[in-house]
Structure 1
Amino acid sequence: MAKETRSFAVIGLGAFGSTVASELARFGNHVIGVDRDEKRVSQMASTLPATVILDTTDEGALREAGIDRYDVVLVAIGRDIEASILTTMNMRLLGIDTIWVKASNRTHHRILSKLGADRVILPEQEMGRHISQMLNNPVVQDYMTLSNGFSVVNVVLPERIKGKQLCDLGIGDRHDLRLLGMMRGTEHVPCSDRDMDLRPEDKLILLGKRADLRRFGDAL
């Protein structure tokens, strides 16, 4: 397989793995879906560019299927922790550049980290934190956590903002935040003019620490 574009192998086609694989394929990537369950593989055969029924604890079978030629592997095996660990070890033996692995619990997480996975995911906990942020502050439509306690949030301005200007929000003054951009409908609006009028439903993209973002949301 040519290496001009990134290629992805998703191992484990349960609810999590099949969703990730489908979205990666929708973005135009070359994706192979792998599972030892024939039913799961057949369900994804028409959605993904390639699928294969495979026991991924078998290093030889992985090489024969050409998994070693993929740039990124997501090990999304669910309840079978032993298979997840052995598969992750095999990915290292194959020399895969980037390995992401789904963990079932914190102990599993620690083991996978020791094995050298580039990123270990606890989907339920990560989604739980994501949902709690949005429930805690209704103006927060979406957010992404970065390193060192910083997050990027998408804040929808409420109706009561009508008649106010950008400078009235106190971004960078009262609130230790950085405004990265603003969307008005589907249009990107430059934010260089602090005297610009705001409209309800404008979406601000803000960078800052969680406590500062929470205070800003409360002030709105």
Structure 2
Amino acid sequence: MYTRSFAVIGLGNFGSTVASELANFGDPVLGIDTNERDVAKLANTLSKAVIADGKDEEALKEAGVSNCDVVIIAIGEDLEANLLCTMNVKLLGVKTIWVRALNRTHHRILTKLGADRVIHPEHEVGQHIAQMLHNPLMRDYVSLGNGFHVVDFKVPAQLDGQSPSDPVLFSNHDLRPLGVMRDSRFLSCESRDMTLKDGDKLLLLGKRPNLRQFGDFLRDRS
């Protein structure tokens, strides 16, 4: 199986985490930063760790960035360095570029420069935490785009024995139950004989407002 190669430019908290996780997956990762200490920390973890300036196109080329399939530009507070690095990586012909953005204006500029995906780590993590804090029954969720999410709900005691096909539970909230994780088993909600059990992990597909209403509905019944 073909393994994609990655370069992570900017090895602060965010960049070093991304680079280390990719390396743990067995992917070849090139790490780049101007800070010698940050580079040294990952020297034994990544395939290659280099001290270089993202604002210098030639330095990036010599480091091997142009040979990577994907580049993640994780430079944080230095807006100029972030933008110039994005331009340089684009000029080097890298196929896929992900860039960390500082704000919405920065996001728009990066999009104009040709970034394939713009990341807002703090904003995205903050939204994720707020969703789970708002509804303690929500264990986790994944955004699918266009407003749709798949949510992992902990089935409360008041729904023990209920059928996923019960329209009062889901259809009335315009939600679709996908399945249940019970211990280490996945159970399809398409079976008419299947009933929910207290503590099940229920996977639901729907839009955020409907999922929020469902969470409120469950709290009102508790």
**8 A contact 1:167–1:195 mirrored in 2:** no
Deviates more, 1:73-82 or 1:56-65: 56-65
**Other structure's SS at 1:179 match:** strand
Letter in 2 for 1:91: V
Alignment identity in percent?
A: 58
Correspondences of 1:21-170 after superposition (within 5 Å): 21-168=19-166, 170=168
- What's the RMSD between the two structures over aligned residues? 1.7
Q: Distance in 2 between matches of 1:100 and 1:33?
A: 14
Question: Contact (CA 8 Å) 1:157, 1:200: kept in 2 or not?
Answer: yes
Q: Residues 167-182 of structure 1: matches in 2 within 5 Å?
A: 167-168=165-166, 170=168, 173-182=171-180
User: Is the 1:140–1:155 Cα contact (8 Å) retained in structure 2?
Assistant: yes
SS in 1 for 2:136: coil
Shift of 1:187: 1.9
Partner of 2:8: helix, strand, or coil?
Answer: strand
The one of 8, 31, 34 equivalent to 2:6 is: 8
Contact 2:33-2:50 within 8 A present in 1 as well: yes
Check the 8 A contact 1:139/1:158 in 2, yes or no. Answer: yes
User: CA 1:140/1:169 → structure 2, altered by over 3 Å: closer, same or farther?
Assistant: farther
Q: Secondary structure at the match of 2:165?
A: helix
Deviations 1:64-117 (A, max 9, x none): 111101111100001111111010001110111110100122222222111111
Q: Secondary structure at the match of 1:188?
A: strand
Scaled by the length of structure 2, the TM-score of the pair is 0.91
Gaps of 5+ in 2: none
Query: Aligned partners of 2:130 and 2:198: how far apart in 1?
Result: 24
- Cross-structure match for 1:209: 207
- Shift of residue 32 of structure 1? 1.4
Q: CA deviation at 1:169?
A: 6.5
The answer (yes or no) to whether the contact 1:143–1:153 under 8 Å persists in 2 is: yes
What is the CA deviation profile of residues 23-68 of structure 1, one whole-angstrom value per residue up to 9, with x for unaligned ones?
1111221111111111000011122222111112111111111110
How many angstroms does 1:179 deviate by?
Answer: 2.2
> Residue 6 of structure 1 aligns to a residue in which SS?
coil
Count of aligned pairs: 218
Instruction: Report the alpha carbon displacement of residue 118 of structure 1 after superposing the two structures with TM.
Output: 0.8
CA distance in 2, matches of 1:180, 1:35: 43
Deviations 1:115-142 (A, max 9, x none): 1111111111111111111111111111
The secondary structure found in structure 2 opposite 1:101 is strand
Matches of 2:160 and 2:215, distance apart in 1? 16
TM-score, normalised relative to structure 1: 0.92
